[in-house]
Amino acid sequence: MSRIASEGAPLVSARNVHKSFGHNEVLKGIDLDVMPGEVVVVLGPSGSGKSTFLRCINHLEAIDRGSIMVAGEQIGYRLSGERLTKLSPRAIAAQRRQIGMVFQQFNLFPHMTALENIIEAPVGVHGHSRKDATDYAMELLARIGLTEKANAYPRQLSGGQQQRVAIARALAIRPKLMLFDEPTSALDPELVGEVLATMRDLAGQGLTMIVVTHEIGFAREAADRVVFMDGGLVVEQGRPEEVLANPSHPRTRLFLSRFIREAA
Amino acid sequence: MSSAAEPMHDRQATLRDVANAHRPVEWGRWLLWAFVLAVSANFAWIVAWNPNFGWPVVAQWFTAESILRGLYVTLGLTVVAMVIGVIIGLLLAIARLSDDRLFSGLAGLFIWFFRGTPLLVQLIFWYNLSTLFPEISISIPFGPTLVSWHTNDLITPMTAAIAGLSLNEAAYMAEIIRGGLLSVDKGQTEASDAFGMTRARALRRVIIPQAMRSIVPPTGNQLISMIKATSLVSVIAMADLLYSVQAVYNRTFEVVPMLMVAVIWYLIITTVLNIGQGFIERYYARGERGATERMPVIAEATP
Ligand SMILES: Nc1ncnc2c1ncn2[C@@H]1O[C@H](COP(=O)(O)OP(=O)(O)OP(=O)(O)O)[C@@H](O)[C@H]1O
Ligand SMILES: [Mg+2]
């Protein structure tokens, strides 16, 4: 995994990120840098704030304290001189256009075919021509092996196929960064493999990815770095072979031991 | 299993193939059908031969010019008031759902007022607006007047009818549309947001098309009520279908036949609308499990 330059500017840079829902403090000061081309897998117990953190990165949730930079721009705010001001919804929408997101529940648009789902944002948001968008969409569908499902509606597809279409839809905007929130958790076990295979392909192509998942196997094979979150903090991070084999933090050890027992 | 049993087994399988199944004979249902048909036929016969219905008079007036003019007024008012009502209703629903307290409060106030007062009273108020406000002007609040009109020039029976019907309709449609927007899965808004769609685009491309499934049936209801509600405008001297019919029977005293003329026209309009609603519902059901095979082709033609 030497393709990652260890110096240079990070693509994502989160500093002291805090987020509360009412009195429930979910993120308690997250610091995380992600380098261009890096694949970061976020692990952690349920309720540790993984989804919340991911959603903060594209401003689906507003953070209460700290800052998040993506590709040199602060998400949700603009610093002019010494003065930090909130961006308008329109400007925030513009910032999101370089970030692709894949959801646990797929969230495909059910009234559009697979192809229409994929070209919706490129045509409607990015202003690409319908022909270019369709060509690229067909290329993406071919890559995930679903060319013949181009005109199928989401409900006519299996869960695994829907999630692969959702991945293609996110890729169609040629994102600088891809966020995956437990992309395989809603799938039947026999469908998980096909989605993970698609994601492994992407990881191999140098796409910058932040993946929240419970698939330790995927972390081991495809991640450049594993980040372990617990109680709203990053408690441990490092190369997968180190963190997964020799966790230093007791919470990581406990979490992993449970998984390894489950897998056995 | 022994080989001797095989042919026996095959025969069983063929006999049990559900593709060759017969419907059970349902004598009870046949009898019920026969009974209902007999009763309806008899009823139709009685009505058709009852001289009190005055069918020749019905036939004579059914396409009379004054009746058709009234029919156009009814249809025109319905269409115009419904279109304006839906547009304002959509804006109200969006305002009501917005995080902005000012917009949602104003929309709430509008809906509260126009649903809370009788349509008849609203129509009379609009018609008599000039007695309340002899002049209507655009001015800076508490400041100088920019433009002004005599209310009587603006408010004709037609504009009073349209204003009354459409604003009242808007209040009801706002709640129907709001319910429809709320019925769409939150994940859809989230996905639209994540793709950097503006709120307007997300509504237009993602949320409203899905909300239509639950908006269309009650809107059909509203449209049919609206056709009949237009008959209220006769109080402000608009010559709609019912008013035209009344004008005739006030002269000829053929009340029942003339009302039958109106009833039959109302039923024809309702039937046409029901058929149209069926088509619209099927269009918005595309992508649902069990939707017809043809649907993807239609959707492809209109991307
Ligand atoms: N919109 C919300 N409103 C209120 N509380 C929320 C909201 N979203 C998340 N939470 C709370 O924040 C905490 C962290 O949730 P989050 O979904 O980030 O956890 P997670 O690490 O992704 O867990 P899981 O593995 O179960 O998905 C939970 O206690 C949850 O109840
Ligand atoms: Mg989660």
In sequence order, the 6+-apart residues with CB closer than 8 A to the CB of A14 are A30, A31, A32, A33, A53, A56, A57, A66, A67, A68, A69
- The β-bridge partners of B220 are none
Predicted confidence at residue B301, as pLDDT, reads: 35
Q: Which ligand 1 atom is nearest residue A229's CA?
A: 21
Quick one: pLDDT at residue B12? 84
- Residues around the ion ligand 2 (C-beta < 5 A): A 51
Which residues from A are below 8 Å from B299, CB to CB?
112-113, 116
pTM of the model: 0.83
Kindly list the strands in the beta sheet with A39-43, ordered across the sheet, starting from the edge strand earlier in the chain: A99-102, A177-181, A208-212, A39-43, A225-230, A233-238
- The verdict on A120 touching B (C-beta cutoff 8 Å) is yes
**8 Å CB contact of A120 and B287:** no
Q: What average pLDDT does this structure show over B123-128?
A: 90
Q: What is the side-by-side order of every strand in the sheet holding A24-34?
A: A24-34, A12-21, A65-70, A73-74
Query: Which one of A107, A108, A158, A178 makes the best mutation probe of the B interface by having the most chain B beta carbons within 10 Å?
Result: A107
Q: β-strand A12-21 against A24-34: which pairing, if any?
A: antiparallel
Nearest CA to ligand 1 atom 2: A21
A79-128 confidence digits (pLDDT tens): 999 999 999 999 999 999 999 999 999 999 999 999 999 999 999 999 99
With b meaning 16 or more CB within 10 Å and e meaning fewer, what string describes A7-38?
Answer: eeebbbbbeebbbeeeeeebbeebebebbbbb
Please give, rounded to a whole number of angstroms, the shortest distance from the CA of B162 to a CA of chain A. 35
User: CB A156 to CB B289 under 8 A?
Assistant: yes
For the Cβ of A46 lying below 6 angstroms from any atom of ligand 1, the answer is yes
Beta strands in chain B (DSSP E): 135-139, 145-150
Would you place residue A8 in the very low, low, confident or very high pLDDT band (cuts 50, 70, 90)?
confident
Closest C-alpha to A162, from A144, A181, A138: A144
Rounded to 5 degrees, what are φ and ψ at A113?
A: -70, 170
Contact state of A111 with B198 under an 8 Å Cβ cutoff: no
Average pLDDT over residues A228-232: 94
Beta bridge pairs of residue B139 = B145
Residue pLDDT, tens place only, B250-264:
999 999 999 999 999
Q: Does A19 touch chain B (CB under 8 A)?
A: no
CB distance A65 to A226 below 8 Å: no
pLDDT value of residue B295: 41
Tell me the three state secondary structure of residue B29: helix
Instruction: Determine the atom of ligand 1 nearest the C-alpha atom of A212.
Output: 22
SS3 content of chain A, % helix, strand, coil (to 5): 40, 25, 35
Is the pLDDT at A5 greater than 70, yes or no? no
Q: A170 and A163 in contact (C-beta within 8 Å)?
A: no
Residue B99 is classified by DSSP as S
Please give the pLDDT value at position A264.
45
| A210-220: pLDDT as tens digits | 999 999 999 99
Query: pLDDT band at B203, cuts 50/70/90?
Result: very high
Contacts of B172 (CB under 8 A, 6+ apart): B85, B89, B115, B222
Each residue's pLDDT tens digit, A36-66: 999 999 999 999 999 999 999 999 999 999 9
Atom of ligand 1 nearest to the CA of A48: 21
- Minimum distance, in Å, between the CA of residue A228 and any CA atom of chain B: 25
CA–centroid distance, A22 to ligand 1, in Å, is 12
